[in-house]
């Protein structure tokens, strides 16, 4: 499976965020998007995830036989908005996702993220880093084949960053697709650096 971004233009407020952007996302080749604030990293991910309409250009995916296929339902996006419910407890949030995606809950992940002992606490009381970890659990739990991660490491301590990095590497090793935007140094094997 490949994801092809073909000649993408995005105009916002009379200014082009990116022009003639073309690249191909393939298995075992994670793409790291770097760029300064306001350079359109988030917009690019939202374009790919279908949440934002590009001015022109095309995004499509092809399977092994070279046929165009629908990819949106195989995509998962994690952005600045954490997509967690402050009114619910940690556990209630996770149970909701596991029912929503029809996937089993991975207890190890909770333990690695040190959220297991907080499972009965309302998310609204957690610190930002803990909320961010909880929001990433949704991505890991859903196990979709294309991950679009916008600044996944923001707010995480060193230990948790390692855990996230390992999980991303595992995802790559399975031959699945991933695009990550970041400010900090992130190194993966065979990575392609995209500067906006």
Binding site for another protein (CB under 8 A): 46, 49-53, 72-73, 75-77, 79-88, 92, 96, 99-102, 114, 117-118, 121, 125-127, 129-130, 138
Paired tokens of 94: 């996770």
Report the C-alpha gap between 72 and 34 in whole angstroms. 23
Report the C-alpha gap between 78 and 156 in whole angstroms. 15
Nearer to another protein, 23 or 96 (CB): 96
Nearer to another protein, 104 or 185 (CB): 104
CB of 120 to another protein, least distance (A): 8
Report the C-alpha gap between 131 and 137 in whole angstroms. 10
Residue where the block lists tokens 């990433």: 136
Q: Packing angle between helix 128-142 and helix 90-101, nearest 10 degrees?
A: 20
Residue 140 to residues 81, 108, 109: CA-CA distances in angstroms? Answer: 17, 12, 9
Nearer to another protein, 89 or 182 (CB): 89
Report the C-alpha gap between 33 and 180 in whole angstroms. 6
Residue where the block lists tokens 């995004």: 59
Nearer to another protein, 37 or 195 (CB): 37
Nearer to another protein, 33 or 139 (CB): 139
Nearer to another protein, 74 or 191 (CB): 74
CB of 142 to another protein, least distance (A): 8
- Cβ atoms within 10 A of the Cβ of 146, count? 22
CB of 96 to another protein, least distance (A): 5
CB of 140 to another protein, least distance (A): 14
Q: Which of 134, 10, 40, 21 is nearest to 83 (CA)?
A: 134
């Amino acid at each position: 499976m490949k994801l092809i971004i073909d000649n993408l233009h995005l105009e916002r407020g009379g200014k082009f965020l990116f022009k003639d952007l073309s690249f191909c996302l393939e298995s075992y080749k994670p793409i790291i998007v770097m760029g300064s604030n306001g350079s359109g990293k988030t917009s690019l991910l939202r374009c790919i995830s279908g949440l934002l309409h590009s001015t022109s250009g095309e995004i499509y995916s092809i399977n092994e036989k070279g046929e165009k296929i629908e990819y949106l339902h195989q995509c998962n996006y994690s952005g600045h908005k954490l997509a967690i419910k402050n009114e619910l407890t940690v556990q209630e949030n996770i149970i909701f996702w596991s029912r929503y995606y029809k996937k089993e809950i991975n207890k190890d992940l909770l333990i690695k993220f040190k959220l297991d002992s907080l499972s009965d606490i309302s998310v609204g009381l957690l610190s930002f880093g803990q909320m961010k970890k909880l929001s990433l659990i949704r991505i890991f739990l859903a196990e979709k084949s294309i991950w679009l991660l916008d600044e996944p490491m923001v707010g995480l301590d060193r230990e948790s960053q390692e855990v996230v990095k390992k999980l991303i590497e595992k995802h790559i090793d399975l031959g699945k697709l991933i695009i990550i935007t970041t400010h900090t140094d992130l190194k993966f094997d065979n990575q392609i650096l995209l500067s906006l």
